Structure 1
């Protein structure tokens, strides 16, 4: 295995007592995708060790307003030099509740939020969400959104690239990390996002849909300095996804930027990272 650093910007884990039923429920709507880990922190760390991954960003989603505080608590227990968890909130949480979550997260070195429009019942550019975005921007957090379509919500456009563009226009100082190369199964339209310096592109679940040649073409249409490697673990194998990047006919410097350098520079803004 090559001795190098890799950051996976899109993973999922659950508390040990919840992981089995969470994976079972999610697997019912995951199409051809099946989990490669048991969904626990230990399972992810074992996968990271096997793949040679330095750090994983763990995305948590509050599907109910009552889950937001529990996710905060879980995130605070797993944050480490190898795990950067994202907190979440639900649109039905009050502004005061969200503010408290952000403050407590920041005190633990966490300054990222994950939101999933379909699972949480909102549109990315819904003006009812703007007070939350203003708070996130003011407190110096970034947001990771599920973007594009979703395998469990066919035809749903709550996270469309057009809505992402509208948000980026409205909040020019808010760092927005799109998942799935800008928008899952909207790859013919993601170039409308490339002109916004506050939009970043995590790349998971793209090559598995379009193949290596088309994946390479998508990468080359996006800004190379704003691309993040991601796997959506446990739904793909981390080691296999690194091998995909290594196998692409793109410059070695771009591979290194995707696998580590871009995310390293980005996360240094939001936490202290060891020098490589």
Structure 2
């Protein structure tokens, strides 16, 4: 908790050990030509330590993986949430998964999964792939949240699968699913305004675009370094549509939280962004 605000970091990537974290991050940073120094590793021990030191009450683990290891990755995320009650696990799917996705979905939800994270560009599939229909229909029935990585990664775009025009067809079709578009819809203010106006079931997370981490601000083209721009966008679409997220270990929750606390937003607006919206969307039990 920070200054009376319950804090939920709605976008964090976690790994089972420092060795695994180093291996994955080194490969990811090479593919996406990431030029800045990462503020951490994402090892689960480090994430838990950050929470304690920074006053973060809950962390949403937005993990994803290739088709061959995605089930193992999902079960590990759920197990971490069983061990650490302040961890809120998301699971992921891939059209190439061999296991029946509806059965896995039932297993994950009964195990404690609170939502789904898709990274179409990194995972290599289009959001509207018909093989994912069963998952979207199940999410629609119970308003189960879906988080989409939206746009580029550190100015790199290896395919267009995560571009907004490929995500909107899914949003348009499933109006009862709470969708979160990460990185403020790739930092395109026009898209944020348009989508917020057209689709009441869409939220936006602050990660990377509204960063307070200086090395990231210097190299990430879509980021919004001007607080007045951030404040304008939030007041335009409403603080109830924005979810705080750091994208740790690529973003820095410490720097991002410090920046938000300095913004000219009301306590009610900060409370919604820093925690209340995520608590509602992911049905986090306080």
Q: Same fold judged by TM-score > 0.5?
A: yes
- Alignment gaps of 5+ in structure 2: 211-216, 218-222
Q: Larger deviation: 250-259 or 29-38? A: 29-38
| 2:278 aligned with 1:266 | no
Q: 1:155 to 1:118 in 2, by over 3 A?
A: closer
- 2:11 match: 10
Counterparts of 2:51 and 2:62, CA distance in 1: 16
| 2:214 aligned with 1:210 | no
SS at match of 1:86: strand
Out of 224, 227, 237, the residue aligned to residue 222 of structure 1 is 237
Q: Larger deviation: 184-193 or 165-174? A: 184-193
Counterparts of 1:223 and 1:8, CA distance in 2: 19
- 1:189 match: 191
Offset at residue 139 of structure 1 (A) = 5.7
- 1:19 match: 21
| 2:111 aligned with 1:108 | yes
Counterparts of 1:221 and 1:127, CA distance in 2: 35
- Alignment gaps of 5+ in structure 1: none
Counterparts of 2:268 and 2:4, CA distance in 1: 16
Offset at residue 90 of structure 1 (A) = 1.3
SS at match of 1:75: helix
TM-score (norm: length of structure 1): 0.88
What's the RMSD between the two structures over aligned residues? Answer: 2.1
Contact 1:102 / 1:111 at 8 angstroms: preserved in 2?
no
Offset at residue 143 of structure 1 (A) = 0.9
Offset at residue 70 of structure 1 (A) = 0.5
Offset at residue 236 of structure 1 (A) = 2.0
- Which portions of structure 1, spanning 4 or more consecutive aligned residues, are displaced by more than 4 angstroms? none
Q: 1:139 to 1:30 in 2, by over 3 A?
A: farther
Counterparts of 1:217 and 1:161, CA distance in 2: 22
Counterparts of 2:181 and 2:56, CA distance in 1: 21
- Map 1:124-163 to 2 at 5 A: 124-138=127-141, 140-151=143-154, 153-154=156-157, 156-163=159-166
TM-score (norm: length of structure 2): 0.85
SS at match of 1:8: strand
